[in-house]
Amino acid sequence: MYKHHYLTLFCLVLGLCFSLNSSAQQWRKEPLTVNDQTFMAAQRDRIDELTRIHFGRQLNGKKDNDFALMQRLLDDKIVKSDQVAILQAMGVVLGNILKEQEGLSWTIYIDRYGRSRALAVPGKPDVVFPITMISRRYEVGAEVNIEEIYQKALASVTAIKKQIIVP
């Protein structure tokens, strides 16, 4: 009789250990691959090409210039709400500026939902996802102000940098 109770207890404890282990870390970060870097460069080039064609101006990596050009692409309805790839390419441009100004690095964030490009804050586990910051708003018809989105992302990065990590 006691053997049965011990066996049941052992199985419960073993099951709990496996359950805790599998849910302990359901995400991970990995470096960008060459394919990721190539894809992101092509996305940036796509936005640069649109601004050259429509405005005769190019992206230059400077916040004021690049945000004004992207904002105009949206305000003039050159980019439509169903052009998700282009909207996410704008997120790459936004992310590159945030990366340069805040000392962040592009990373691949992998969780149970899949694989996403994100910006990592050095020494911190948290990331921000600039690639979808513009697209998810514009796709649903919300008014998009790229500078405001940037300021919110900057506030998130600042909060992450202030976090104290306790091992």
Domain membership of residue 83 (yes or no) is: yes
Q: How many domains does the chain have?
A: 1
Sign of torsion over alpha carbons 65, 66, 69, 70: negative
- 120: domain CATH number is 1.20.120.1090
* Residues of the domain holding 57: 28-155
Domain membership of residue 163 (yes or no) is: no
Domain membership of residue 134 (yes or no) is: yes
Domain membership of residue 112 (yes or no) is: yes
Domain membership of residue 165 (yes or no) is: no
**Displacement of CA 90 from its chain's centroid (Å):** 12
Q: Taking the model in full, what pTM does it have? A: 0.84
Give the tens place of pLDDT for each residue, 35-86: 999 999 999 999 999 999 999 999 999 999 999 999 999 999 999 999 999 9
Domain membership of residue 133 (yes or no) is: yes
Please check whether residue 97 is in contact with residue 47, taking contact to mean a CB–CB distance below 8 angstroms.
no
Domain membership of residue 123 (yes or no) is: yes
Give the tens place of pLDDT for each residue, 106-159: 999 999 999 999 999 999 999 999 999 999 999 999 999 999 999 999 999 999
Q: Of 60, 40, 149, give the one whose Cα is nearest residue 69.
A: 60
Residues 6+ apart with CB under 8 A from 63: 97, 101, 150
Domain membership of residue 35 (yes or no) is: yes
**Gap between the terminal Cα atoms of the chain:** 43
